[in-house]
Amino acid sequence: MVVPKKDQILIVDDHPIFCLGMSELINKEEDLEVCGSVELMKKAIPAIDSLKPDLVIIDISLKDGNGIELVQDLKKQYEGLPILMLSMYDESLYAERALLAGANGYIMKQEAIPQVVEAIRKVLSGDIYASNTVKEKVFKRLTNQQTADSKSPLDILTNRELEVLRLIGAGYSTREIAERLHLSIKTIGTYRENLKEKLKLKHFTELVKFAVHWSDEIAY
């Protein structure tokens, strides 16, 4: 008897408990199997080369960088590799950027189990997946961008600047952000200055308030 081949899935996420739960969920399916998990961006490419997954699930926020940047890197090296982006943030800006970077799907971590499995299967089949909530938010953003007055100041930030802003809002110091992103303190200081300029904020305290308020808005 020939055993049907299971689609192999690699998880890139720095939350061990979540990885364990996601793996158990996926492995219950007859046609799906988790072939491995890594917690850092820098481990993703070696894992892909070694394990040859059929799909990669990536958390949007990782210890050593931004999941969106990892998607961009992977699409350059593995053009046809399906990628499903996971996020704890209810923010259409992230969804839009993830899909533009090349992700084949975007789903919230708190989605019900059937939706997660549906997303995996849809992306494996070559389709694009986004929940109805995400679709509505992205459509609203794209519609609102037709007028300059409604455009969010966050739209002009780079992915790296957005990540620095998120970490500031999460309470990380400049040194901690530098260590987390493997950048120099001077470089993070430059990002801070760029953020103040682009967001039209005069002082770092104003930037912190803005970042904290924004982080509270996007957190689930």
- Is residue 100 predicted with pLDDT exceeding 90? no
Give the sign of the dihedral formed by CA 157, CA 160, CA 163, CA 164: negative
- Region at 182 (left for phi over 0; alpha for psi -120 to 50; beta for the rest): left
Please report the pLDDT score of residue 150 as a whole number: 53
218: confidence class by pLDDT, cuts 50, 70, 90: low
Closest CA to 61 of 145, 137, 167: 167
Q: Tell me the longest C-alpha to C-alpha distance in the chain.
A: 70
- For 24, the 3-state DSSP assignment is helix
Give the separation between CA 41 and CA 135, rounded to whole angstroms: 27
- Is residue 142 predicted with pLDDT exceeding 90? no
Please report the pLDDT score of residue 220 as a whole number: 46
- Number of Cβ atoms within 10 Å of the Cβ of 216: 9
Q: For residue range 10-60, what is the model confidence (pLDDT) as tens digits?
A: 999 988 888 999 999 999 999 999 999 999 999 999 999 999 999 999 998
Q: Which domains does the chain have, with CATH numbers?
A: 7-141 (3.40.50.2300), 152-218 (1.10.10.10)
* Lowest-confidence pick of 34-43, 58-67, 102-111, 135-144: 135-144
CB 8 within 8 A of CB 33: yes
- Is residue 90 predicted with pLDDT exceeding 80? no
CB 25 within 8 A of CB 50: no
Phi, psi of 31 (to 5 degrees): -110, 5
Give the separation between CA 9 and CA 26, rounded to whole angstroms: 9
Closest CA to 61 of 166, 131, 211, 136: 166
Q: Tokens at residue 114, please?
A: 């059937």
Name the average pLDDT for the chain: 87
Give the separation between CA 137 and CA 108, rounded to whole angstroms: 13
